Amino acid sequence: MLDTDLNEIADGIRDLAPELEGRHLLLTGGRGFLGRYFTAALARLNADVFAKPMTIDVVDNLITAGAEGSRDENPPHTSFIRHDITQPLELRRTPDFILHAAGIASPFYYRAYPLETLEVAVTGTRRMLELAREARARILFFSSSEIYGDPDPRAVPILESYRGNVSCQGPRACYDESKRLGETLCYIFHDRFGVSVSTVRPFNVYGPGMQESDYRVLPNFASRLKARQPLHVYGRGNQTRTFCYVTDAIIGFIRALVKGVPGEAYNIGNPEPEVSMLDLVKEIEAVLGRPVDYTLATYPDSYPADEPQRRCPDIRKARLQLGYHPRIPLREGLRRFLGWADGIYTGKL
Ligand SMILES: NC(=O)c1ccc[n+]([C@@H]2O[C@H](COP(=O)([O-])OP(=O)(O)OC[C@H]3O[C@@H](n4cnc5c(N)ncnc54)[C@H](O)[C@@H]3O)[C@@H](O)[C@H]2O)c1
């Protein structure tokens, strides 16, 4: 993680300090990409911003946390509990906030672990909602932009009210359908029991800290660049995505945790630019200042077919209700990420 990035996050949520300092947070999936970022960002806030430290219980069963996440490093005021959240969880301290980020997020891994993917989003979410109900804690559920499936092009950029075009069968269903059911559980717990739960739907977050073996597109490209091998662009390369730099996303998530309207879901992403995978290669060339080789590759068996053709958020709701304003342009984010990955990745995927 980059020092400047942690400072940017601290600046982006400084106004929320009075609501967070001195409180206790439960962070599920805390050894994954976003979880480790939360831990580092909150450690920075504890050191530089909060008058009284926030304490954090990090929970993760390490199923996809890899070497990075399995390292036993806890900043001050943070403790780690190795635990599968689909099973009952005993805590020593009652949380004021729950960031429920546990999940199996990379298509490569949900192809490998379909039942675990479904269970963590459904049973795991139900357990966290029950815990929030007992503790009267505010909880943020990490859903996904994948709940929109393969959207009708007329619905893009996608509003939170778009109902999606999703299949309940096929290799992606374990992820997108279980995240949808997770959202339904949030709706029920808010509607029936008054639980203060909001949901975020992240759109392709990237940045330093992503594991090389994550298998999402940017770590894949960065690993191939390191190995000086041509990039593999799956399919015809005209499928589009938007990419949200991790500092912008973390600020959005923390703002949603504190300011999210209970019962509501928020798109968190950066709507500009919407790029095809071939455009993304050109953006990387612009950042590196040199041509980059690539080949169009058929989808490997390890990658779930049926991928959405377009993905671009409408973020007006998060702007208005959360004060969320993504700031890092794609080229700047790529410069930071590729520079970091070049120093860390081995190119031996
Ligand atoms: N990063 C993104 O662009 C993105 C996009 C959409 C949705 N999300 C969602 O945000 C959350 C965090 O994403 P990420 O990129 O950090 O994912 P990640 O895969 O890097 O981290 C998730 C962590 O959850 C842990 N986990 C999985 N099942 C668990 C269980 N049963 N009990 C305890 N821990 C468990 C894993 O070991 C891993 O460390 C996930 O729920 C993901 O679905 C992320």
> How far apart (Å, rounded) are the C-alpha atoms in residues 347 and 349?
6
- In-domain check, residue 154: yes
Amino acid 107: pLDDT: 87
* Residue of 148, 175, 206, 324 marked catalytic: 175
Give me the mean pLDDT over the 8-12 stretch. 95
- Please name the residues in contact with 266: beta carbons below 8 A apart, sequence gap of 6 or more: 160, 198, 199, 200, 201, 252, 256, 260, 317, 318, 321, 322, 324
Amino acid 215: pLDDT: 82
Q: Coil, strand, or helix at residue 253?
A: helix
In ligand 1, the atom with minimum distance to the C-alpha of 100 is 41
User: Does the pLDDT of residue 349 top 90, yes or no?
Assistant: no
Confidence of residue 214 (pLDDT cuts 50, 70, 90): confident
* Residue 156: domain span: 3-206+244-269+312-327
Cα(30) to ligand 1 centroid in Å equals 8
In ligand 1, the atom with minimum distance to the C-alpha of 210 is 20
- In-domain check, residue 274: no
> How far apart (Å, rounded) are the C-alpha atoms in residues 324 and 342?
30
Query: What tokens were used for 19?
Result: 């609501």
Give me the mean pLDDT over the 269-289 stretch. 97
Amino acid 216: pLDDT: 87
- In-domain check, residue 32: yes
145-185 pLDDT per residue, tens: 999 999 999 999 999 999 999 999 999 999 999 999 999 99
Which candidate, 19, 22, 7, 35, places its Cα nearest to that of 253? Answer: 35
Give me the mean pLDDT over the 233-253 stretch. 95
Query: What tokens were used for 226?
Result: 């390191």
User: Does the pLDDT of residue 4 top 80, yes or no?
Assistant: yes
Amino acid 268: pLDDT: 98
Amino acid 300: pLDDT: 78
> How far apart (Å, rounded) are the C-alpha atoms in residues 346 and 227?
7
Amino acid 52: pLDDT: 97
Domain count, the chain: 1
CB 187 within 8 A of CB 320: no
- In-domain check, residue 65: yes
User: Does the pLDDT of residue 259 top 90, yes or no?
Assistant: yes
299-337 pLDDT per residue, tens: 877 777 677 889 999 999 999 999 999 999 999 999 999
User: Does the pLDDT of residue 49 top 80, yes or no?
Assistant: yes
Confidence of residue 253 (pLDDT cuts 50, 70, 90): very high
Q: How long, in residues, is the chain?
A: 349
Which candidate, 307, 133, 302, 132, places its Cα nearest to that of 204? Answer: 307
Any idea what the CATH number is for the domain that residue 126 is in?
Answer: 3.40.50.720
Percentage of the chain lying above the pLDDT 70 cut: 100
At which residue do the structure tokens 């990490």 appear? 142
Instruction: Give the closest residue (by CA) to ligand 1 atom 40.
Output: 103
Amino acid 189: pLDDT: 98
90-120 pLDDT per residue, tens: 999 999 999 999 999 988 899 999 999 999 9
Q: Which residues contact ligand 1 via a Cβ below 6 A?
A: 28-29, 31-35, 59-65, 69, 84-86, 101-106, 120, 124, 142, 144-145, 202, 204-205
At which residue do the structure tokens 């739960």 appear? 197
Amino acid 303: pLDDT: 72
Amino acid 301: pLDDT: 76
In the residue annotation, 175 being an active-site residue is answered as yes
- In-domain check, residue 337: no
Amino acid 158: pLDDT: 98
Cα(101) to ligand 1 centroid in Å equals 5
Confidence of residue 16 (pLDDT cuts 50, 70, 90): very high
67-96 pLDDT per residue, tens: 888 887 899 999 999 999 999 999 999 999
- Count CB neighbours of 148 within 10 A: 27
Amino acid 70: pLDDT: 84
Confidence of residue 1 (pLDDT cuts 50, 70, 90): confident
- In-domain check, residue 283: no
User: Does the pLDDT of residue 122 top 80, yes or no?
Assistant: yes
> How far apart (Å, rounded) are the C-alpha atoms in residues 140 and 130?
13
Amino acid 67: pLDDT: 83
- In-domain check, residue 285: no
- In-domain check, residue 305: no
Amino acid 71: pLDDT: 84
> How far apart (Å, rounded) are the C-alpha atoms in residues 137 and 69?
26
